Structures are given as structure tokens and as C-alpha cells.
Amino acid sequence: MNEIEQFTKSEYKYGFSTDIEQEMAPKGLSEDTVRFISAKKNEPQWMLDYRLKAYRHWLTMKVPTWQNVHYPQIDFQDIYYYAAPKAKPKLNSLDEVDPELLDTFKKLGIPLEEQKLLANVAVDAVFDSVSVTTTFKEALKEKGVIFCSFSEAVREHSELIKQYMGSVVPYTDNYYAALNAAVFSDGSFVYIPKGVRCPMELSTYFRINAENTGQFERTLIIADDGAYVSYLEGCTAPKRDENQLHAAVVELITNENAEIKYSTVQNWYAGDENGKGGIYNFVTKRGICKGNNSKISWTQVETGSAITWKYPSCILKGDNSIGEFYSVAVTNNAQQADTGTKMIHLGRNTKSTIVSKGISAGRGNQTYRGLVKVSKAAENARNHSQCDSLLIGDKCGAHTFPYFEISNPSAKIEHEATTSKIGDDQLFYCQSRGISAEEAVSLIVNGYCKDVFKELPMEFAMEATKLLSISLEGSVG
Amino acid sequence: MLSIKNLHASIGGNEILKGISLEVKAGEVHAIMGPNGSGKSTLSKVLAGREEYEVTAGSVEYLGKNLLDFSPEDRAREGIFLAFQYPVEIPGVTNIMFLRTALNEIRKYHGKEPLEGPEFLKLVREKTKILDLDDSLLKRPVNEGFSGGEKKRNEIFQMAVLEPKLAILDETDSGLDIDALRAVSDGINKLKNKDNGIIMVTHYQRLLDYIVPDFVHVLLNGKIVKSGTRELALELEEKGYDWIREEQKEEVV
Ligand SMILES: Nc1ncnc2c1ncn2[C@@H]1O[C@H](COP(=O)(O)OP(=O)(O)OP(=O)(O)O)[C@@H](O)[C@H]1O
Ligand SMILES: [Mg+2]
């Protein structure tokens, strides 16, 4: 068999499912579903009203079709919108968490027991529609940092939620953002008060478990004046034959001199080698640099999902604000990805950097889509974009669509794009020097991605490197 | 050290090597000459283990083992080195990183500790000096944007670092300027010793002024049709290949 053809046979090691009693909303979507979810979460009336408005708006919208991805129409009535492990009514400590769940996260490499916690990383573990537990809560509280599940924030920090939720991604923004606003289940909420540098990495780990269930989480992170936080999101799902929808919304807000560093290691189940099953990952992520001299940095390593469709973006409103986007996206087998970023320059002396590294193997198909927009008032805007594609074998594809809308002549925009190919010739060359094909791919891929990996927090950079090798494993003999 | 017997190889059902036999003993230098398309590179790649060519008959014994049983990387680890006629670019991997990985893979195969940091750099320094190679090439991705001559020199540099037992040099001389030819030849001569074998594919007898072969073979249409010494190369340079083709025809008749 051809070297490259063998490149696509690897096992997804997070593909197990947890056998746990679930409480589900009735299948399908209606106002009743929305009310059911809201009631389950003991939400205040204003939250329910918001959901209903979003739901009604969603009904008027059409499924977007402009992305360069192909999949059968989703039947929104064939999905469960709420699934929660049946548990004790209220969890006060980890002792009350179902051991089955602790075990699940342990298997995923995320120990939640206090004594085994990753040093210096606080974790919020979200299982299907609910947050299971948040670690290090007390330690964070001392600094005034709020890190809790979104549901808890709706109840306990309603003023902040009312003020900020939907302020960056309104429910009218797009089809899936509207859907999320109507049925969102859980997610994480972070608030870093003025002048506080969050003493540890914050991390949310999302796990889809239940069958035929969508996951619709929301994340909202606010860094107040002079605050700093580094946040990491990870995700996995069991191997299932049917496709599952994941439609999340992430909103970031930085006030003056604040900085948020948001890293994602996305490893949803990608489907089998023939494209059966896998997660549809349709996500809206956007941050606003509201205050002057603030900074938002997105780093993403996208290895999973059958289809990925997302554009983590920055609105650079404050003067001298900085937006960054570092991305590695892998599509192997039948995976498809349409991903990129939007950098919207509004303030003066705003700066953005885009580094996108696409890797396609197997029959994977990938599109980079990026927009750099400089408004009239954005004096002295700067952008540097670097969009590289790496093709492994000759059955995969890569496309690059950079868009520029420049309304201020003082803008300095640089764009570079390259395409490289690893074929049998490259692999044989490496082999003839004593390097096996698998090692060769990992050597090439890691070299290629290093500009992005160096942006990840250390432990996660190592994980990402490993993950990349695994997702490309089997693609050579 | 190498014994090729009646080797046949084809690609896509098209037979390219049509019964090659060749003996290389330790310490010998063999030159292979022959017109374009006669199968010289194919032979080189088959020996290095390129799987797209199917070996349909014959055998290759290397240091007492059946070479054809080994994967390409294990052949390299067993001491076979192919300097490519057309070295490929490896994106994203610096030359130095590439070489270190290769060297340490080979060392691992032989149960040796990896060579890291200062030790490795020392070795590299030595070899760049011999080949008069610009340091900046080490930090660039393998062969990416290298000039034709730089690529060839880089091949011999890799060989110098990996210190193979059997080196197969496929037209390493073509594309080299006069100084480079001398530097590369020096490098090859330094590697030459009583334990190593060298097979050089070339079109020009000029290379043979620098590296004197023990044997010269003519490959024509997938077969070695004539073998001789240095003088054969001089004769070919003067007369071309037609007279050999004629001889062949007569033999067939
Ligand atoms: N991968 C391949 N697919 C199809 N034909 C091939 C392939 N490789 C080699 N050939 C054919 O085999 C024959 C021998 O090619 P080879 O490259 O071995 O010649 P060569 O003697 O090295 O020639 P040159 O002096 O031009 O380098 C040629 O006719 C060539 O077209
Ligand atoms: Mg050739």
C-alpha cells in the first residue's frame, strides 16, 4: 500500500462512553424545550425571557450555507437539547460527585480530586449539559477571581451576566449563535477584577457523552482594568455513528490594559475514516478589546470534529489594542474545516497578528477564511497575516480566502501565504536517512507548527504536540 | 559487501531493471555510467528501498543479509546511504534538526546513546569545514530554496555526518561548479576507506579524475552491458554510447 494512504488509520483514544443515568429534555426544539432547560437550571425570569427572544429570532433565520463544507441537513427536531447526569440535588463538594463521572474525567487525563489536581490549573468540568465541578474555587476567590459554571453565574452574578452576556455575540449574530442563546446549557464564567493577575491557568474541559445530544455551552470571560488571565479549553466526545452538534458561543471582554489569552485544544471525535459519525463543531468565538492598551490572543489547535466551522475574532476598539490569532488545524480522513479569524480595527494604533497553519491529510478538506477590516477612524492600524497550508498526500485539499476591507489609508497590512506538500518523495527521503515515515511526519508537522505551539501554555504545548502526532498517526506506513 | 544477482524491477507493469548483477567489495569504488533513462537512478532507489518499484526477480545481499527484507529506514540504519539526483525539500524542518534526528535514529538502532548539544555541534562543525558549507544552510529548512549545487553539497554533508558503509551517489557531480566539485570529491575521498564501498552514478568522467574508480560499468536499457576500468570511462567520453549499442545489437543477432 502507498505510504501516504496508510497515514490515516489511528484510534481515537477518547472514544469510550460513560454509562450513567441521564435526565433528558424531551427530544426536539420548541418553546417548551427552552422553558424546560431554564426551569431545570432554576433561572430567573429575565434569563428565560432572553432565551425565548433568541428562540423566536432563530425561527426567522436560515441555515447558513456559505461555508466550504458539505454535510446533510441537520434535523433540529431530532436532537436532545438537554442531558444531565442524574445526581444529588446540590453538590457541595467533590465527595458528592458521581464516582462514574470522576472516573470518566480521570480516563480523559483530567483528575478532579483535590490531591491530584494539576498544579496551577483550575478546572471547570462540563459533562453534557452541566458543569460537574470547578476546582480551586476557594483559592481563586481570595484574589476576587470568579470562576464558576455559567448556570451558577446566572444565579449568583446576575448583574455581570446581564451587563456582558450577548454584548460581543448578540443572539442576532448568526444562526447558531441564536440557537445557542435559546438552549445553552452550561459553560464557564470568568471575571478577573481590576488589577488582578489570575494566579493560575483556568481551564474548562467539555465532554459530550449522551447520544443524539447537542452541546450548547457558553463561555464568558471578563478581564477588568489591568487584569490578566490565561484560559484553556479542551474537549472530547465518545465515538458514535451519528453526528452530534456542538454549537458554542464564547465572548471575551478586556477593559483598559487588560489581557486575555484564550487557548483551545479541540479534540472532538472526528468520525471514522469513511466520515461516519463525528462532531459538527459550529462555534462563534469573539472578543472585544474594549479598553485602551488591551489585548486578546486566541490560540487554537483543532484536531478533532467531523466538521469545524469557526472564526475566533477580535474587535479592536480601544486605542493601541492588540488582537492575535494563532491556529493549527488538522483535517485527516474525511474531516472538513472552514476556519480562520476576523480582526476588526476600530481604535487608533491597533495591531493584529494572524498565524494560521493548516494541515490536510487523507481526504481532509480545509479552508482558511480571514477578514481584516480597518475602519475609517482606525488611524495607523497594523496587520500581519501568515497563512500556510501543508498537504500530506494528494487526495486532500486546502483553500485560502483572505479578505481585506481597508477604509483608512494609513493602514499597514502584510499578507503571506505558502503551500507545501509532503508526498512519498519527502517521506522516502527521510527514510533513506534512517527516519521512519511516522517520525518524519511528526518532525515535519511539529516544525511547521512551532510558531503556534510556542503560544500555548507549556503543559498544553506538549499535549498538543502529542495530539497532533496521534491525529496524523497511521497516515503513513 | 554488496552482491546483486539478476535484479529485475518494474513500475506500473513496466520493466526498468532487466537483470542486473553487480558485486561490490569493501574498499571498492564503482562508477556506473549510461545514457539518460537507462535505469541508473532506478537501481539506486531500489537499493535504498523505494517501494514504488516492484522487485520481480533476483536478489540483493548486503553484509550477508537479504537487503530486500529491510525497510528503507532500516537499510539506512544498516549503513546504506543514497545521495539523491534530485534532493527534495522538507518544509518546516531545519537542516540541523533533520540531521540530528537521522543520526540519533541510526545510533539508537545500534544501541548507542543519542548525540546531543555540544557533541553533535562539534561533529557538524568538523563536517561543514570539510565541505566548505555555509553555516546558514544548517538553520534553513532542508533543501528549501537551496541552489542546485547547494543541494548536492548538502547531500554529501549529510553523508559525512552519517558515515555510511555503502554510499550510492546518484549524479552528485552534476550541477556543481569547479570548486564545489573539488570540495565534494574531497569529502567523498575522506569517507573512503578499506571498509566502505561507494557506487557513483555519473555522466562525466571528470569526477573520476578526483575519485578514482576501481571499476566502471555501463548500464544500458536496464542491464549492465559492459564493465571495465577507468579507461572505459575515457573511451565513453570520447565515443559516446553508440558503439556499445552496436555491440549489443550484434550480440543479440
Ligand atoms: N516512477 C516512475 N514512473 C514511471 N516511469 C519511471 C519511474 N521512474 C523511472 N521511470 C522510467 O524508468 C526509466 C529509467 O529511469 P531512471 O531515472 O532510472 O534513469 P537514469 O538512468 O537515472 O536517467 P538519467 O541519466 O536521466 O538520470 C525511464 O524511462 C523512466 O522514465
Ligand atoms: Mg538518474
Going from the Cα of B217 to the center of ligand 2, the distance in angstroms, rounded, reads: 15
Segment B148-153 mean pLDDT: 91
**Averaged over B220-237, what is the pLDDT?**
90
Give the list of residues 6+ apart from residue B112 with CB closer than 8 angstroms, or none: none
Mean per-residue pLDDT, B78-88: 96
In this structure, which amino acid lies at residue A432? S
pLDDT band at A163 (very low <50, low <70, confident <90, very high): very high
Residue with cell 472530547: A236
Closest ligand, as measured to the CA of B34: 1
Has residue A174 got a pLDDT over 50? yes
Q: Please name the residue that has the C-alpha cell 470568568.
A: A190
Per-residue pLDDT reduced to its tens digit, A268-323: 777 777 777 777 888 999 999 999 999 999 999 888 777 888 899 999 999 999 99
The CA B220 to ligand 1 mean position distance, Å, reads: 12
B73 touches chain A (CB under 8 A): yes
Using the predicted structure, report yes or no on whether residue A204 has a pLDDT greater than 90.
no
Q: Is A434 close to B98, i.e. CB distance below 8 A? A: no
Q: Give residue B90's identity as a one-letter amino acid code.
A: I
Interval B38-42 mean pLDDT: 96
Q: Among all ligands shown, which has an atom nearest to the Cα of B32?
A: 1
Number of H helices, E strands in chain A: 10, 23
Which residue in this structure is represented by grid cell 517501494?
Answer: B51
Query: Do the Cβ atoms of B49 and A445 come within 8 Å?
Result: no
Give A430's contacts in chain B (Cβ within 8 Å): 90, 98, 102
Q: Flag whether A298 is in a domain.
A: yes
Task: Please report residues of B whose CB lies closer than 8 A to that of A440.
Answer: 90
Do the Cβ atoms of A390 and B91 come within 8 Å?
Answer: yes
What is the C-alpha to C-alpha distance for residues A35 and A51, in angstroms, rounded to an integer?
9
Of chain A, the percentage scoring pLDDT greater than 90 comes to 42
Residue A350 one-letter amino acid? T
Decide: B39 in ligand 1 pocket, CB within 6 A. Answer: yes
pLDDT at site A4: 41
- pLDDT band, very low/low/confident/very high, at A126 (cuts 50, 70, 90): low
pLDDT classification of A195: cutoffs 50, 70, 90: very high
- Please report the atom of ligand 1 found closest to the CA of residue B203: 25
CA nearest to A249, candidates A321, A325, A323, A311: A311
C-alpha grid cell, residue A387: 497563512
For residues B55 and A163, give the distance between their C-alpha atoms in angstroms, rounded to a whole number: 73
Dist CA B214 CA B228 (whole Å): 9
Residue of B nearest to A391 (CA): B91
**Residues sharing a CB contact under 8 Å with residue A201, sequence separation 6 or more, in sequence order:** A120, A121, A122, A230, A231, A232, A457
All residues at 6 or more sequence positions from A323 whose CB lies less than 8 Å from its CB, including other chains: A287, A289, A295, A296, A297, A314, A316, A343, A350, A351, A352, A353
pLDDT greater than 70 at residue A133 = no
For chain B, the distance separating the N- and C-terminal CA atoms, rounded to the nearest angstrom, is 36
Q: A23 vs A331, which has greater pLDDT?
A: A331
Domain map of chain B by residue range?
Answer: 2-252
What confidence score (pLDDT) does residue A208 get?
64
As a whole number of angstroms, the distance between CA B187 and CA B156 comes to 7
- How close A431 comes to chain B (CA, Å)? 4
The residue nearest atom 18 of ligand 1, judged by CA position, is B39
Over residues B112-127, the mean pLDDT reads 90
pTM of the entire structure?
A: 0.80
ipTM of the complex as predicted: 0.96
Rounded distance, CA B18 to CA B39, Å?
9
pLDDT of residue A130: 61
Task: Please tell me what DSSP assigns to residue A74.
Answer: P
* Mean pLDDT value of segment B203-215: 90
Question: What are the angstrom distances between the C-alpha of A2 and each of A241, A337, A476?
Answer: 28, 25, 8
Q: Which of B150, B152, B119 has the alpha carbon at shortest distance from B137?
A: B150
Backbone dihedral angles phi then psi of residue B105, each to the nearest 5 degrees: -65, -45
> How many CB atoms neighbour CB B199 within 10 A?
25
Could you tell me which residue, B47 or A268, shows the higher pLDDT? Answer: B47
Q: How far is A265 from A464, CA to CA, in rounded Å?
A: 7
> Does residue A268 sit within a domain?
yes
Q: Do B101 and A426 touch (CB under 8 A)?
A: no
Query: What is the grid cell recorded at A393?
Result: 498526500
For a mutational test of ligand 1's pocket, the pick from B8, B42, B82, i.e. the residue with the most ligand atoms closer than 8 A to its C-beta, is B42
Quote the ligand 1 centre to B37 CA distance (angstroms): 5
Q: In this predicted structure, what is the pLDDT of residue A355?
A: 95
Are β-strands B2-11 and A382-392 bridged in parallel, bridged antiparallel, or unpaired? Answer: unpaired
pLDDT on residue A15:
63
On the question of pLDDT at A228 being above 70, the answer is yes
Using only C-alpha atoms, chain A has a radius of gyration, in whole angstroms, of 22
Phi, psi of A213 (to 5 degrees): -115, 145
- Are A431 and B101 an interchain contact pair (Cβ–Cβ within 8 Å)? no
Q: Does B163 touch chain A (CB under 8 A)?
A: no
Give, as residue ranges, everything with CB less than 5 Å from ion ligand 2.
Answer: B 40-41, 85
B89 to chain A: closest CA residue: A426
Distances in Å between the Cα of A218 and the Cα atoms of A228, A289, B58 are 20, 19, 66
Q: According to the per-residue pLDDT averaged within each range, which of A23-37, A266-280, B76-90 is highest?
A: B76-90
In a domain, A477, yes or no: no
| Statement: residue B95 has pLDDT above 60 | yes
Closest ligand relative to B219 C-alpha: 1
How many Cβ atoms are within 10 Å of A228's Cβ, its own excluded? 17
Residues with Cβ within 8 Å of residue A48, at least 6 apart in sequence:
A34, A35, A38
Backbone φ and ψ of B52, nearest 5°? -70, -20
Angle at A113 between CA A111 and CA A116, to 5 degrees: 65
pLDDT beyond 90 at A449 = no
Asked whether the beta carbons of residue B162 and residue A433 sit closer than 8 angstroms, the reply is yes
Instruction: State how far the Cα of A319 lies from the Cα of A294, in Å rounded to an integer.
Output: 8
Q: State the residue range of the domain holding A128.
A: 3-472
**Taking each helix axis from N to C terminus, what angle separates A437-453 and B95-109, rounded to the nearest 10 degrees?**
140
Kindly give the number of the ligand 1 atom that is closest to the alpha carbon of B42. Answer: 18
Lowest mean pLDDT among A175-179, A213-217, A340-344, A388-392: A213-217
Ligand nearest to the CA of B50: 1
Concatenating the DSSP letter of every residue in B82-128 gives EE-SSPPP-TT-BHHHHHHHHHHHHHHHTTPPPP-HHHHHHHHHHHH
Q: How many domains does chain A have?
A: 1
Q: Which three cell numbers stand for residue B74?
A: 532500516
Confidence of residue B100 (pLDDT cuts 50, 70, 90): very high
Answer whether A350's CB lies under 8 Å from A375's CB. no
Average pLDDT, chain B: 92
Å from CA of B11 to ligand 1 middle: 10
* Residue B38 CB less than 6 A away from ligand 1: yes
pLDDT band at A239 (very low <50, low <70, confident <90, very high): low
- From chain B, the residues in CB contact with A426 under 8 A are 88-90
* Model confidence band, residue A109 (pLDDT cutoffs 50, 70, 90): low
Mean pLDDT of B184-189: 88
Which residue from A434, A443, A448 is facing B77, i.e. has the nearest CB?
A: A434
Show the beta-strand stretches assigned E in A317-364.
322-331, 336-345, 351-360
Mean of pLDDT over chain A:
83
Q: What is the 3-state secondary structure (H, E, C) of B25-57?
A: CCCCEEEEECCCCCCHHHHHHHHHCCCCCEEEE
For residue A369, the SS3 value is: strand
Q: Is residue A31 part of a domain?
A: yes
Any ligand 1 atom below 6 A from CB of B11: yes
User: Band of the pLDDT at A397, cuts 50, 70, 90?
Assistant: confident
User: Distance between CA atoms of A456 and A467, rounded to whole angstroms?
Assistant: 14
Per-residue pLDDT, averaged over B4-26, amounts to 95
The CA angle A275-A280-A283, to the nearest 5 degrees, is 150
Find out whether the beta carbon of B127 lies less than 6 Å from any atom of ligand 1: no
Of A182, A187, A158, give the one whose Cα is nearest residue A170: A182
Give me the pLDDT at residue A8, please: 41
Q: What pLDDT does residue A149 have?
A: 86
B2-252 maps to which CATH number? 3.40.50.300
The DSSP letter of residue A44 is -
Q: Give me the mean pLDDT over the B65-84 stretch.
A: 97
